[in-house]
Chains A and B, each alone.
Chain A
């Protein structure tokens, strides 16, 4: 049977263009921070799990291999996971498996992405499409997401104004986050005035390209209890992936993320959560675009299906709301270094521990959920963390 797994430390770093640093330096920084946070030495770590979405961003094949010395993983088992944006949560799930299956007791999970090395992230993203059928259409991330956003807004009767409110909330929340790249004090009108990238997605609906890394340390139950009196447990994990052919998905509708509902259901079933909107205290939801936060809130059951507009209108997801979402600023405010979106999990941990500083929400947080979206726009990974 699966063993219980706890989070015992996180390593943070400011998201920024780190032109003068190498991948090794970024990884070293967060690995050391995580060890300090967990009061551990590098010798204590049994194995390392890397997460990085796209090697072409930093131009190094197997970029994790160059950072093995820096990661505490030298002469230890290391494994690298890569599921695009969802790397952010699928990598800690792989780390969870390392501990839960009984192979290792202390696992360092490091996610990093160095996007500043290439001239255009979109040029890199254009190489992900099928070269025979899809690439000739000329899609890139904003266009693909524009299609998805249109389908979503149409299906549930939501508005661009509601999307803009998410941007105002997240960028505003990032003002209290010391690791954030792009905190901004905005108004809804200012977001609505920003130029369209691909209708209905506007510049201020997107998240910024950046460099960054995050680390978390996972421990088996007996080790976690030695390290801390009140561990933060991984209570549920879930993954779901639809067909890579976005025109061939089962439900024929880009507006409803069946795969995200599947991932959330698994994670909640495992955690024994029946009514997420009532039982979840805090959520860090993957928000590379504003409408994605809304879609993910619905898929995670934080609001009824189609109710994400009302959720933001009523202020439920504000920092001081009844179910705060992305009080750290999310990807919109903190920056979006694809794989290092594991920051979502780190902030859940910090909120539960009460160590989120100025981002701490004014309520008790016992159970939190985070998710990440990626793959070929068809993969979702969900993790529920909390105290006993």
Chain B
């Protein structure tokens, strides 16, 4: 391929800011403004606008239409709205720039979870609404506590995985402690250890309060341009070297629990495109979906980060630590930063791009040239997206 696509602007609003006072349109507006400022562009430069959000999560139909004004897409030539996880907007934006290399494309996603009811039952209803209605939904309605549907379904997956891999609960706690610790590294706060994680509420064995990510608000906007266009801008470009996405079975009765086959397939496409043969050596760092602690390990395994070793031994040897050979979720991941369902995928990409640029304070990894961002669709769907970004 002659032309390449790169990220030149990054804008993120996360729940560390006062998101309760902002509507989802505000969230996205500020994220886009930051991305434009970052790229040194203005609204008039935008040629296309792509967003990815889910109607049911937003509580309105055609929710993704609302984003148009906030991201500067009014009366612009390219425009798409995806009912997918945020990382898919990167894929659609990539295609858009490849087809029309003169285009400045804004890709964005927003999620305002704080508008749902605070005790979490609203989200459980959404999980139920995602299930196939004839066979799966009636079975799941028999879960005794309406607030625990998600953890019951996740626990089935986790148990199957622990059983297959021989991992222990302590190792899951270690993952959670690592990611939470990565966020509060510099703050003057005590970091919870694995033993504290194991003391947190048990939702459905082995899923605990602190081994599953809590919902949060966030908005993320990235600006994509072709390499040629990027050379005219001041900002250092981050190149999209490979993308891949894949969907597996979402039907509960026939899905394979305890595997991340969709991630494996998505990664194989992305690796092929990026020319990566040996991911454990060629990938410098990764941001991987850790919606639940066991999923991080499952995804690391599926992404080929462990080579011939077992994922448990890699974890125990500190390979995935902030200072390890292949840091995973050094930003804190979803366990540390909160999970803005549907937007967190794009935020993973933003984290990787920032680190490659080394604009993220506190990271001084001498070898941060090729990073991988991964997103998983969450219970009960089986979708995954992988993007590989590089400095060159």
Tell me, yes or no, whether B157 is within 8 Å of chain A by CB: no
Q: Cα distance A328–B54 when bound, in Å?
A: 33
Write out the residue numbers on chain B whose beta carbons fall within 8 Å of the beta carbon of A93: 80
Give chain A nearest CB distance to B343 CB in angstroms.
15
B75 touches A79 (CB 8 A): no
Tell me, yes or no, whether A98 is within 8 Å of chain B by CB: yes
A244 touches B65 (CB 8 A): yes
Q: Which of A55-63, A295-303, A310-318 contacts B (4 or more CB under 8 A)?
A: A55-63
A82 touches B129 (CB 8 A): no
Tell me, yes or no, whether A64 is within 8 Å of chain B by CB: yes
Q: Cα distance A82–B53 when bound, in Å?
A: 10
B247 touches A77 (CB 8 A): yes
Tell me, yes or no, whether B126 is within 8 Å of chain A by CB: yes
Write out the residue numbers on chain B whose beta carbons fall within 8 Å of the beta carbon of A125: 61
Tell me, yes or no, whether A190 is within 8 Å of chain B by CB: no
B244 touches A94 (CB 8 A): no
Within 8 Å by CB of A79, from B55, B73, B88, B130, lies: B88
B130 touches A60 (CB 8 A): yes
Tell me, yes or no, whether A383 is within 8 Å of chain B by CB: no
Chain B residues with a Cβ closer than 8 Å to the other chain, count: 57
B61 touches A100 (CB 8 A): no
Q: Cα distance A69–B252 when bound, in Å?
A: 13
Q: Which of B338-384 contact A (CB under 8 A)?
A: 377, 381, 383
A102 touches B98 (CB 8 A): yes
Q: Mark B59-96, 1 if CB is under 8 A from A, else 0.
A: 01110111011000111111111111000100110111
21 A-B residue pairings within 8 Å (CB atoms) = A61-B130, A62-B56, A62-B83, A69-B251, A73-B247, A74-B247, A74-B248, A77-B246, A77-B269, A78-B245, A79-B82, A79-B91, A82-B62, A84-B65, A90-B80, A101-B99, A127-B60, A240-B75, A242-B74, A262-B75, A378-B65
Within 8 Å by CB of B133, from A60, A102, A241, lies: A60
Q: Mark A54-98, 1 if CB is under 8 A from B, else 0.
A: 111001111011101100011111111111100000100110011
Q: Cα distance A226–B99 when bound, in Å?
A: 23
Q: Cα distance A75–B251 when bound, in Å?
A: 13
Q: Cα distance A53–B62 when bound, in Å?
A: 7
Write out the residue numbers on chain B whose beta carbons fall within 8 Å of the beta carbon of A244: 65-66, 68-69
Write out the residue numbers on chain A whose beta carbons fall within 8 Å of the beta carbon of B134: 22
Tell me, yes or no, whether B195 is within 8 Å of chain A by CB: no
Given A53-B62, A69-B251, A79-B82, 8 more A-B residue pairs with CB atoms under 8 Å apart are: A62-B54, A66-B250, A75-B248, A81-B83, A83-B65, A97-B96, A98-B95, A378-B65
Tell me, yes or no, whether A137 is within 8 Å of chain B by CB: no
Q: Which of A219-253 contact B (CB under 8 A)?
A: 238-245, 250
B61 touches A65 (CB 8 A): no
**Residue in B77, B80, B83, B248 whose Cβ sees the most chain A Cβ within 10 Å:** B83
A101 touches B265 (CB 8 A): no
B249 touches A81 (CB 8 A): no
Nearest 5 A/B pairs, CB to CB: A101-B98, A61-B56, A97-B95, A61-B130, A101-B95
Write out the residue numbers on chain A whose beta carbons fall within 8 Å of the beta carbon of B96: 97
B245 touches A79 (CB 8 A): yes
A65 touches B133 (CB 8 A): no
Tell me, yes or no, whether B37 is within 8 Å of chain A by CB: no
Looking at chain A, what size class is its interface with the partner chain? Answer: 35 or more
Give chain B nearest CB distance to A376 CB in angstroms.
5
B75 touches A259 (CB 8 A): yes
Q: Cα distance A375–B383 when bound, in Å?
A: 26
Q: Cα distance A100–B96 when bound, in Å?
A: 9
Within 8 Å by CB of A94, from B55, B74, B75, B80, lies: B80
Tell me, yes or no, whether A258 is within 8 Å of chain B by CB: yes
Within 8 Å by CB of A54, from B61, B262, B266, lies: B61
Within 8 Å by CB of A65, from B68, B100, B247, lies: B247
B75 touches A74 (CB 8 A): no
B129 touches A60 (CB 8 A): yes
B100 touches A81 (CB 8 A): no
Write out the residue numbers on chain B whose beta carbons fall within 8 Å of the beta carbon of A59: 129, 133
Q: Cα distance A120–B81 when bound, in Å?
A: 24
Write out the residue numbers on chain B whose beta carbons fall within 8 Å of the beta carbon of A245: 69
Q: Cα distance A250–B74 when bound, in Å?
A: 9
| Given A2-B99, A102-B1: A75 and B126 interface contact (C-beta under 8 Å) | no
**Residue in A79, A83, A103 whose Cβ sees the most chain B Cβ within 10 Å:** A79
